Each structure stands twice: as structure tokens, then as C-alpha cells.
Amino acid sequence: MRKITILLVLFTFLFSCKKEEKREIIETKVIEKPKPVLLYGFNLDNYNVVHDTIKNGDSFGLILDRHHVMYPKINKIATTIKETFDVRRVRSGKPYTILTSKDSIKKAQVFIYKHNKVNATIINFKDSVISAYKHKKKVKIVEKEIAGEIYSNLSVTMDSLGLTPTLTNTVADIYAWTLDFYRLQKGDKFKLIYEEKFINDTVFVGYGEVKAGLFNHKGEDLYAYKFVADSIKNIAEFYDEKGNMLRSTFLKSPIKFQYRISSRYNLRRKIALYGRVRAHRGTDFAAPYGTPIMSTASGTVVESARRGGNGNYVKVKHNSTYSTQYLHMKRRKVRVGDYVKQGDIIGLVGMTGNTSGPHVCYRFWKNGRQVDPFREKLPSAKPLKDSIKPRYFKFIEPLKKQLDSIPFFKKTTAIFVEKETLATK
């Protein structure tokens, strides 16, 4: 009996020890504190945060004044940081963030001006030392592939693929010298290898490079590869599979999109406004009122005026041989003596002078005589040097294989094929 009593005591003692041990473990469990929320390196637990957008009439001074910063301090801030940030250049519509003190005054201590989704300027005036510096978020670059089929025009097709006009314009610029986008046919196809940029893996912030492209137009494959031939100048151009530069001396049209050729160069055309045969020494590109007009080649503006049947017009001299003229503008955007580059906007489509609808009459001069540019054999840019071609062909070999491996689908609507193949900071 005594032995049983001793065993029961020992059992009770051991059981109570285990319970105590368990209880102590529970009591000593550490509860982790939540991590601080950081914004541009600032711990938001230490501030009140104000997100807003600059309104019309707002200025840097007015914004800070609303947040209890006195004008002597505002002037000191503006003077101190002027080399980094000109406070007079804040623009309406731009978002900004203000970090204020957490007391009852809520006085501004940090001003963050967001230039775009990636870049911002941080102005810190919390203490006596005022500072301003640039901040750039880490950007992830993702390479993507796309295949599409034209069923209306390039703009409509790209839009149906969920791509923005920025990429559409880039593609148009690449092929502006080899393709007449007005003459694209239903069933023409294209492929692209291009880059998209993201912050935080999910926020789209624009496009990177278009590395390569292929347009199948009327059954003919037109390749385009971006390549830097001169490492010193570091200027990239697009070349075809033989090393010929796609860029030519003259664009095929002074209008990028949304146009049609309403009247061609014709020396025996009967003009309705005059009621008789009168030579038409230009090509009319009909386009919506206000459409931008581009200079088809680089050169110097020699005329910018409004005169008679020409209405508002601009004339550009490209060299001793060639000049171009653009008539019936709504508004001219260049002056005599301005140097314009190929593709620069020189005016807007209008109806000034003798015209029955909005269009630009494009006139082409060769050696002082007006000619039809579509019948002229115009000079093209120089191809790659023979010494560079081996390096070029080696460079484009994997790109061509990648392009050729992107499938074309036989469907009446545009097809989008996405392949993530590259991620860098």
C-alpha cells in the first residue's frame, strides 16, 4: 500500500512538472512587431501622409503654405534646391505626396514630386538642413513576343491586342520607309520581339526596345533588326536580313496614320474648284482636321506663310537637289530658318486656301522642278559596311530563329502570343 502511495505521488509530481513546463513555453512566446511601412525610404509610422494631385493654379509655394510652411522657409527651400529641382516647373496633373508631422499642427516636412511612375524628386526640409535628390524605382524589363493579323489597319489591330499607341507609333516609325501603311491589306501579318517595363512586377510603366520585327506584306517577308553598327556613336538603326538600312532619305507619307490618298500627281487632272483642266503637281493626303503633318526628311524651313490657294503652307529644303512643300494647313508649327528632322511635326491638317475638305497637298521638288515622288527613284540610306556585316549576321541569327518560331494563326481576328524570356533591373 505504501508503495502504491509513493508511485501516485511521483506520477502527480511528474505530471504537474510537464504542465508547468508547457505553461512556461506558452508564456515566453515572442510576438513579432509588424514591419514598418516605408515610402521612398521614410518610415510612414512617423508621419501623417497626404497624397494629392497638383491642380490648375497651384504652385510649390501655395501647396506648402496650405500645409503650414511659412513663406520665408519656402523661399529658402526653393533657393537651396534650385540646382536639383526648379520649383517653378511643377505641372498641373502631376501627383505628389507630403509627409507632415504627427502633432496637431501637421506641418509639412517632406515633399515628393512624382514625375512619372518611375521617377520622383524628394525634397526633405524636416530639419535645418534642406536637401533634394532624385529617386528612381527599380524597373523590371520583360521581353515579349507578339503575332498579329491585319483585318482593318495597324492601329485597330494593335489596339485589339491591348497595346498602346506608343508601341504602334514605334512600329510605324520602323517601317515608315519600306511600308505604305495606307496600302496594308487584310491578311497581312506581323511579328514583334519587344520589351515591357514593370515596377513591383505588376505595374506597367511603358515599353523598352523593339528588338526585331517581321511584316508579311503581300506574301513578302520584311525583316527588321535593331543594331548598333558604330559603337562610338552608339546610335541604333534598323536593318533588313541583308544588312540594308530600313531608313530611307524620304518618308512615304507626311501623315502617320488615318489618311487616304484622295488625289495623286496628275498633270491633266480637272480640278472642280476651277472647272477646267489644271495640272495637279502634288499628292493629296486626306486626313481628319488637326492631324499632325510630318516633314518627310530632315532639312531647313525656307518658307512658312499663308498665300492664295496654298493657304497655310511650309516648304523645307533638304539639300541642293530636293525640297518638299506642305499645303492647306490649319496651323504652321515652324518658322523660316528652323531645322527640322525627319518625322518632326511641322503643322496640322486643315482646309485653308483652295480646298473642299481637310487634307495636306504634298509637293516634291527635284532640281527646282515639281515631280511625282512615287515615280522617282529616291536615294536610300547606306547599307552596312562589308567589314561590319559578319558581326551583324551573327547578331541577328538568334533573333531570326526566335521570330520564325513565333506562329501565325489562321484566324480572322488578331492573335496575341506572349512569352516572358528576360527579366533585368
pLDDT digits (tens, 9 = 90+) for 167-217: 998 998 888 777 777 678 888 999 999 999 999 888 999 999 999 999 998
- Specify the range with the lowest mean pLDDT, choosing from 27-36, 220-229, 354-363: 27-36
Domain ranges of the chain: 38-136, 140-248+382-424, 260-371
Instruction: Please check the confidence at residue 111 and state whether its pLDDT lies above 90.
Output: yes
CA 380 to chain centre: 27
CA dihedral 92, 96, 102, 105 (to 10 degrees): -20
pLDDT confidence of residue 425: 47
At residue 53, does pLDDT exceed 90?
A: yes
Confidence band for 90, pLDDT divided at 50, 70 and 90: very high
- CB of 383 within 8 A of CB of 244? yes
Which CATH number does the domain 38-136 belong to among 3.10.450.350, 3.40.50.300, 3.30.390.50, 3.40.50.150? 3.10.450.350
For CA atoms 12, 14, 15, 21, the dihedral sign is positive
Q: What is the pLDDT of residue 352?
A: 94
Question: Which contiguous run of DSSP H or E holds residue 317?
Answer: strand 311-317
Asked whether residue 386 carries a pLDDT value surpassing 80, the answer given is yes
Give the H/E segment covering residue 322. Answer: strand 322-332
Identify which of 166, 169, 189 has the alpha carbon closest to the alpha carbon of residue 416: 189
pTM for this predicted structure? 0.65
**DSSP of 95-126:** EEEEEE-SSSS--EEEEEEESSSSEEEEEE-S
What's the pLDDT score for residue 200?
Answer: 86
Give Dmax (Cα) for the chain. Answer: 138
Identify the residue with better confidence: 110 or 421: 110
Distance CA 286, CA 261 (A): 6
Asked if 83 and 41 count as a contact pair (C-beta separation under 8 A), the reply is no
Q: Which three cell numbers stand for residue 214?
A: 517581321
CATH domain 260-371 topology: Glucose Permease (Domain IIA) (2.70.70)
Q: Looking at residue 281, what is its pLDDT? A: 85
What is residue 192's predicted lDDT score, i.e. its pLDDT?
94
Q: Strands 292-294 and 345-349, how do they pair?
A: antiparallel
Q: Which CATH number fits domain 140-248+382-424: 3.30.390.30, 3.90.550.10, 3.50.30.60, 3.10.450.350?
A: 3.10.450.350
Q: Reduce the DSSP state of residue 331 to 3 states and report it.
A: strand
14-43 per-position pLDDT tens digit: 555 555 555 555 555 666 777 888 889 899
Fold match flag (38-136 vs 260-371) = no
